[in-house]
Amino acid sequence: MLKKIDHLGIAVKSLAEAVPYYEKALGLKCEHIEEVPSQKVRTAFFACGEVHLELLEPTDPESPIAKFLEKNPAGGIHHVAFGTDDIQAQLEQASGAGVRLIHDKPFDGAGGKLVAFLHPKSTFGVLTEFCIPKPGTSTH
């Protein structure tokens, strides 16, 4: 079952340029910065109540974020991530409803989580992530 919106993924060209906006203009605190090799991104996490913002900077031209920025040069909201209590069941439910999956198995994402994505062509344009904390890791 989906529990909450866990985070919003926001594509930026440069964390060095974007982080000060979130810190100084919005007054949020950068909790940590982490490189995620599986997605070829560097991420910066901010908490806003229960929801996190995940800024995503590409580390490679082949990164999905680099491709997103080619189409959206100013950056922007890249994905919505739902926290779930059973990621595999969530993927099976979506797939059973005819939704195209990008990943049919969860993989290691940022923040010590297992993640998997639904294809935006099946989700009315919203790249949708499911995530769940990996057992034994601190949560985001």
For Zn ion, the closer CB: 49 or 98: 49
Q: Which stretch binds Zn ion (CB under 5 A): 5-13, 15-23, 70-78, 94-102?
A: 5-13
Residues contacting residue 82 through CB under 8 Å, at least 6 positions apart: 2, 3, 4, 5, 6, 90, 128, 129, 130, 131
In the structure encoding, which two tokens stand for residue 132, read together? 């769940």
Burial profile 37-56: b = 16 or more Cβ within 10 angstroms, e = fewer: eebbbbbbbbeeeeebbbbb
* Alpha-helix residue ranges (DSSP H) falling in 9-138: 15-20, 64-71, 87-96
Tell me which residues in 13-52 interact with Zn ion (CB under 5 A): none
Q: Taking the C-alpha atoms of 58, 64, 66 and 67 in order, what is their torsion angle to the nearest 10 degrees?
A: 180
Q: Which stretch binds Zn ion (CB under 5 A): 32-40, 64-72, 75-83, 86-94?
A: 75-83
Q: How far is it, in rounded angstroms, from Cα 95 to Cα 37?
A: 26
Report how many residues bind Zn ion under the rule CB under 5 A: 4
For Zn ion, the closer CB: 95 or 129: 129
Does residue 9 belong to the site contacting Zn ion (CB under 5 A)? yes
For Zn ion, the closer CB: 57 or 129: 129
Place of tokens 């900077």: 57
One residue of 15, 81, 87, 116 binding Zn ion per CB under 5 A: 81
For Zn ion, the closer CB: 14 or 38: 38
For Zn ion, the closer CB: 12 or 81: 81
Q: Which stretch binds Zn ion (CB under 5 A): 8-16, 65-73, 82-90, 116-124?
A: 8-16
Residues in the site for Zn ion, rule: CB under 5 A? 9, 54, 81, 129
